[in-house]
Chain A
Amino acid sequence: MSKVSIDSVVKALRKSVWVFHLNSGSCNGCDIEVLDALTPFFDVERFGIKLVASPRHADVILFTGPVTREVLPKVIKALRAMPRPRMVLAIGSCAVGGGIWYDSYSVIGGFPKLKKILMEEGIIIDRVAFVPGCPARPEAIIYGILVLLGVMKPKSKKEVVTIE
């Protein structure tokens, strides 16, 4: 089997990605903004993006919510069902950093912590993009998808300033 680099596959997947929406315990704020992106004002379908019914059909998974303890085994099963290359867009402050409840007893803490658990189970995530916001605007979600697919370059960079 010839080895194909993940970058070349991602380059080919620039148009008309099919997405699956996965809610791992969020408050629904980011989820209604995801649905809002489908409605006439933002109309994500002009990029060819549509919602599908199963992770087996999906190219990109839209991930919201800090991963709660109850939902963890089910999320692992759903992500395992997704075929390679696995691309994930983590939406909202809960998915990026765990949100307000990042250290509660019932919460694992967002997608970065979940990624470590998935590596131990042998599930490889090929590309992840993070969209902060509470809730994340539909325009921010569209920008996030374009960053994930490599169409636009991310603007945010780490800053360190020293003061005397």
Chain B
Amino acid sequence: MPATESPFWNPKTETLPKEQLQALQLVKLQRLVRRAWDTSPFHRRLYEKASITPDQIKTMDDIRRLPFMTREDWMECQAEKPLFGDMITRPEDEAIRYHLTSGTSGRQPLRVLDSRKDWSWIADMWCYGFWGFGIRPTDKVFFAFSYGSFIGFWGAHYCCEKMGTLTLASGNMSTEQRVKQIVEMGVTVVCATPTYALRMGQTAEKMGIDLKKDGKVRRVIVSGEPAGSIPAVKQMIEEMWGGKCGDTAGMTEIGTIMIFECDHQPGGPHIIEDHFIEEVLDPDSGEPMAYGERGERVVTSFGRGFMPLIRYKTKDLVCKVPHTTCDCGRTGDIYEGGILGRVDDMKLVRGTNVYPRAVEAVVREHSEVEEFQIILSRREDVQDEITVKVELKPDQTGQWARLKGQLKKDLADAHEGLRFNVELAAQDELPRFELKAKRLQDLRPQY
């Protein structure tokens, strides 16, 4: 079969029977733990404290004997021994790339280094995802990405060069310039955050461009926000662009993506299990969650050599379901609904749990909405209030009276009857985003 006809980037390991996949993971885990023990003082310290040695990893269940690694550990290690701490396994001068976490949570960003092999592996993981979603060497791929210290779509760019697509980097272009180039060049694949894919679509409308008629985009690949797996958001993107929208998710700590939606789109992305072990655990007890139960992602990566990542607590909230949910042939399990949010982004409002992603899922059901913000406040130092501020599309302002009531009802129905305030924002009042959107403001006093 010609390579371009293969539905898989790596048919051999993407379709391995589960028991063989787990056997492969065990071999890789044993070698990874041995290497971390031998070359990373940070990991050696962690393991000695937990009284575990590499030769004690004999079965996959033994992974639970390994201590967790946290972002706080990583930050502390870099603060104590700037710039990179004692986690790195190689001399700094052997690195070829330097990146930072986005720092969206306001904490000290993490610094990461990659070797040539790390960097090429990072691109390869994106290849699994791009190929699996139907991207081929004949495509023209446009990156709406600023190419800075934040890792974002860097790896995806190199993946496209590796695959042989025509790769368009838009760097510091304005949104209007990007839209224009996408149409002018006959771009077939657009990569952006879900928020920015929507923004480009809205900008095109304002420019009088109908992307469905004037453009040739057949795929929109999104990453960086949980919204990429919200069906209403995907539908909006698909209606704007006229192409299928697929979600991916990764993190700077692993340098790349660990999950991607295949062309069959079974309702969530597949895990790249020949390169990662993805555990789903109860965030409090650390006990494994069964298929279909929500828990925290804990990741072990086999690809990053400079900075080993073993049992890293991500704080991502996920729900794993078996690979058989999809009929594509991959044996990597699936995160149903993608990344569902953050374990720590749940807000408690008058006794009800509120997740920003769940609010977004409701708001995006209403196509009249262009942008929104969630504002938490406290009235008279006693009562918590939640307000959703909504900016409508310019031609939809006449719908406000009806929409306001509907939104209040839908939001309450999705949150055990919790009362939401819903307010109308003026045109262009709310902030727009290119990278990760920040749509929640918690103005309540922090104690």
Do the two shown chains form a genuine complex with each other? no
Residues of B within 8 A of A (CB): none
Q: Footprint of B on A, CB under 8 Å?
A: none
